[in-house]
Copies of this chain bind each other. A is one copy, B any other.
Amino acid sequence: MNSLNIKPISKNRTLRANVAEQLRDAIINGDIPPRTKLIETQLSELLGVSRGPLREAIRQLADQGLIENIPYTGTYVIDIKVKNIQELYSFRTEIERFAFSLVWNKRSSKFYSDLTNQHKRLTQAIKAKDSVATIYEELELHSVVYDHCGHDLLRETWQRLRSRLHLYFTLHQKAHNRSGPKLKAHDAYVTLAAGENLDAMLEHVSEHMNQGYSKVEKYVSMIEQQLK
């Protein structure tokens, strides 16, 4: 009843936006695997749109870093590389620490409630063993601090990373789909974020990221070797 449905009722009014959203979702959910070549004529027929809006959507996803476009050659879903993961995690650490520094002295009651509510959703998804929802809710949990820090540029930067991060999470999940994230992995995160010790929070962010990184690093380096 009072639980808001997660569905983002974003009625994208333009076709290009809808196409971009559909393609993005298909990629980050693993339905279109890395290295796949996106052929315009095929896609436009599949999606039921003309090449115009499709090409504009492709341009947007390329700017977001989910696909790579080589002129006169083709557009490909990005590849997995250890270096990219490492960069994603190290950069994430920096900006999330920055976000907490910004939000710390102006944390509102809504911040606390958003945090706990989102933690609840994540816990439920984990308990339900819904791996797709778990990934989404974990990213949503981390989005809370960006949404409340009042720094549009920072939030925008986070959103750009989020898609790629989502893709890596999905691929990792699919590789060994039984080991989801630990049930209590985010307890300390939420507790500290609602506490009064900023330094402890910042330190925890760094640790949390390192743990996440080492979790996927081995898998990715293995994949990279296989493809080599």
Contact = CB atoms under 8 A, between A and B. Distances in A.
Interface of A: 13-14, 16-17, 52, 55-56, 59-60, 63-65, 71-72, 83-84, 87-88, 90-91, 94-95, 98, 151-154, 156-157, 161
A204 B72 CA distance: 46
Contact of A153 (B56, B63, B88, B98): B88
A63 B91 CA distance: 20
10 closest pairs, A vs B, by CB? A63-B63, A87-B153, A59-B59, A14-B71, A56-B59, A94-B98, A13-B71, A91-B153, A87-B151, A59-B60
10 contacts: A17-B71, A56-B56, A56-B59, A59-B59, A59-B60, A84-B153, A87-B151, A90-B151, A91-B98, A94-B95
* Chain A residues touching B, majority SS: helix
B157 A91 contact: yes
Contacts of A98: 91, 94
A56 B58 CA distance: 9
Contacts of A59: 16, 56, 59-60, 63
Contacts of A16: 59
